Structure 1
Amino acid sequence: TIWTLRVRFLEERVLPHWAAFTIWNAGKQGRRLYRSLEAANRQKVVAFCDVDERKIKKGFYCYEDAQERPKPRVPILHFRAAQPPFIICVKLDLTGGAFEDNLRSLHLQEGRDFFHFS
């Protein structure tokens, strides 16, 4: 229920202002967010970004349960190659400050360039 309410808030308050966005985290939470979005908002997702070379080398995330044909394939990029705005699905204080340093290095403004979801 909490997850559903948070996604609804995101879709009502944040995503209407963005024509396209990137999900920061190609892992479990980022993919879950992507699958939870309404179809119109899923189409706004231009990429996932991450720091995990294994995920980046895979190159894309394919949403296998999608009704569309062909199945949506969303690119997975290194965070430096991705374009804002970002929906960030990374918990703070779990990486010894590495995530926070990466985010700070991009000189983004919260609310305009990114929204922290997790």
Structure 2
Amino acid sequence: MLLTRDKTHFALGPVPFLLLAGAPIHSSLPALHAPEGRMPSCPEWRIMPRLTMSVVDGPGDAGCLVQGARSQEEAEDMAQWCGAVEQAGGAVVVSLDALPEDIDWDELLTNGRSRGGFVAMA
């Protein structure tokens, strides 16, 4: 299944983040609880970042395509995010019911509703 940009958010930080809303993989990802920023890993999952389309691949049939840059303006930001994922060796994937209007990282990482963790590059 393809997740379009309106259901995703790419963020840079010490480790790049990928927020997914309404993803078909939500229930397949582990529950996310990362107090004080201690991020759990998702050992059976892999991420393949690309400029126009990224892949989040899990065990069995779990996985999804994530739309990347849709325009020249988005391409620079997406290229920077892909480079950060490569440098970090992966990204933190966070799956939610819906994207928040304002992102409260502490809330997302400890609310008990988010799923995900650090996903290594394939």
Report TM bin, short chain.
under 0.3
Normalized per residue, the structure richer in strand is 2
Q: Which has the larger radius of gyration?
A: 1
Normalized per residue, the structure richer in helix is 1
Q: TM-score, normalised by structure 2?
A: 0.24
Q: TM-score, normalised by structure 1?
A: 0.25
